[in-house]
Structure 1
Amino acid sequence: MRVLALTLALCPVTALASDNSHGAPAPAHAAPSHTAHDLPDPGPLCEGFGPQTPRDIGNYHGANHRVFTTAPPASSLNLCNIHTHTNAEHKGPGFSIYAGPGDHGGYMCNESYDLTPAELEDPAHGHGGFHGVKPGDTIEVHWVHTSCEVGPGPGLGSCLSSACANPQLRVEAQVFLVVNDPNALNFMDYVYGGEVNGLHQAKRIPSDTGTPVVFAGSTTGTTYSQQICSPLQVTWSVRPRCARLDISSLYEWGESQNVFAEEHSHGVRQLVTAPSLLAPIR
Structure 2
Amino acid sequence: MKHIAIAMAASALLVAPAIASEHGGHAEAGAHGEMTTVATDQMIAKQRELLATNTRGKGFGPQSPRDIDSAAGNNNRMFNAAPAFTEMNLCNIHFHKNAEHKAKDFSIYAGNGDGHGYRSGYKFDTSGLSKAELTPIKHEVCNSHHGDGSLQVGDTIEVHYVHSTAQVTPGPTLNSCLSEAIKNPQLRVETQVYVLVNDKHALDFGKLTKYSKNKGGLYQATGIPADTGTPVQYEGSTTGPGYNENGSPFQVTWSVRPHVAKVNIATVGKWCEKNDFNEDHGHGVRNLVINPDLLSKID
Say whether the fold is shared (TM-score over 0.5).
yes
Q: Is the 8 A contact 1:34 1:99 kept in 2?
A: no
1:269 equivalent in alignment to 2:281: no
Residues 252-267 of structure 1 mapped to structure 2, 5 A cutoff = 252-255=270-273, 257-267=274-284
Of the candidates 193, 218, 223, which is equivalent to residue 237 of structure 2?
A: 218
- Cα 1:3/1:206, change in 2 over 3 Å: farther
Identity %: 48
Report the counterpart of residue 250 of structure 2 in structure 1: 232
Q: Which ranges of 4 or more aligned residues in structure 1 deviate by more than 4 Å? A: 10-17, 32-39, 129-132
1:95 equivalent in alignment to 2:110: no
Distance in 2 (CA, whole Å) between partners of 1:223 and 1:243 is: 28
TM-score by length of 1: 0.86
SS at match of 1:175: strand
Shift of 1:15: 5.1
1:158 equivalent in alignment to 2:176: yes
RMSD, matched Cα: 2.7
* Residues 99-154 of structure 1 deviation map (CA, whole Å, 9 limit, x = unaligned): 11231211001x2244455333343x242356542211100000000000000111
Extract unaligned runs of 5+ from structure 1.
24-31
AA of the residue aligned to 2:218: L
* Residues 59-113 of structure 1 deviation map (CA, whole Å, 9 limit, x = unaligned): 000000011010001111000000000110000121011111231211001x224
- Cα 1:14/1:184, change in 2 over 3 Å: closer
Report the counterpart of residue 18 of structure 2 in structure 1: 19
1:202 equivalent in alignment to 2:221: yes
- Cα 1:214/1:186, change in 2 over 3 Å: same
SS at match of 1:223: helix
Of the candidates 144, 161, 166, which is equivalent to residue 148 of structure 1?
A: 166
TM-score by length of 2: 0.81
1:53 equivalent in alignment to 2:70: no
* Residues 31-53 of structure 1 deviation map (CA, whole Å, 9 limit, x = unaligned): x9999899544334022210000
Of the candidates 193, 207, 211, which is equivalent to residue 175 of structure 1?
A: 193
SS at match of 2:175: helix
Distance in 2 (CA, whole Å) between partners of 1:179 and 1:147 is: 35
Report the counterpart of residue 248 of structure 1 in structure 2: 266
Extract unaligned runs of 5+ from structure 2.
26-36, 145-149
Q: Is the 8 A contact 1:4 1:219 kept in 2?
A: no
Which shifted more, 48-57 or 98-107? 98-107
SS at match of 2:242: coil
Q: Is the 8 A contact 2:85 2:163 kept in 1?
A: yes
Q: Is the 8 A contact 1:88 1:106 kept in 2?
A: yes
Distance in 1 (CA, whole Å) between partners of 2:198 and 2:132 is: 7
Distance in 1 (CA, whole Å) between partners of 2:167 and 2:108 is: 39
Distance in 1 (CA, whole Å) between partners of 2:255 and 2:290 is: 18
Of the candidates 133, 145, 154, which is equivalent to residue 119 of structure 1?
A: 133
Distance in 2 (CA, whole Å) between partners of 1:49 and 1:244 is: 36
Of the candidates 45, 66, 86, which is equivalent to residue 77 of structure 2?
A: 66
Tell me how many residue pairs correspond in the alignment. Answer: 267
AA of the residue aligned to 1:3: H
Shift of 1:156: 1.3
